[in-house]
Amino acid sequence: MKRLVIGRGSVFADLLIIGEAPGAQEDLEGKPYVGKSGKLLNELLRKAGIDYEEDVYFCNVIKCRPSKNRKPTTREINIHKPWLMQQIKLVDPKFIILTGSTAMRAILEVKDPISNLRGQWINKDGREIMVIFHPSYLLRFPSKEINKPYDLTFKDLENVSGKLYAL
């Protein structure tokens, strides 16, 4: 199937979460972040005190699943980026979380490794942006030890929650 996967959540959200591209479950349901990665992200958001049903809008850089679930190409990102930028403009969030390097590179236009930017607030176009590890990465490296990716991501989301609800 090749379904367009636009977004899910509140279009009035103050927090926008941008991922890479739809996976198999997202392609099937037509919604982003509903597969294993989405379930893990929802769990982390809930634990960090973020109401993902009311206060978050989810979308991806790429709006349809790349063949063989591969990383999107630069060409694909460039084709889909105007659509993503329009989504950002329409939702008009105060905060954006970029999950993983594809979203980070598409929005911030940097080539840095994600470990150089994750966990820091970056101001771009009047919005505060936080880069976190993609939940699929956390599924591959599930250790919950201190300063491992899961723990760092949880701390990043607590940081986001503090700002989001301090408004």
Rounded average pLDDT over 45-59? 97
Q: Which of 140, 101, 86, 93 is nearest to 21 (CA)?
A: 101
Cβ distance 15 to 167 under 8 Å? no
Using a 10 angstrom Cβ sphere, with 0-12 exposed, 13-18 middle and 19 or more buried, the burial of residue 151 is middle
Domain boundaries, the chain: 8-164
List of residues 6+ apart from 43 with CB closer than 8 A: none
Per-residue pLDDT tens digits for 66-105: 887 889 999 999 999 999 999 999 999 999 999 999 999 9
Instruction: Tell me yes or no: is domain 8-164 CATH 3.40.470.10.
Output: yes
167 — pLDDT class (breaks 50, 70, 90): low
pLDDT band, very low/low/confident/very high, at 146 (cuts 50, 70, 90): very high
| Residue type for position 114 | I
> In whole angstroms, what is the distance from residue 146 CA to residue 151 CA?
6
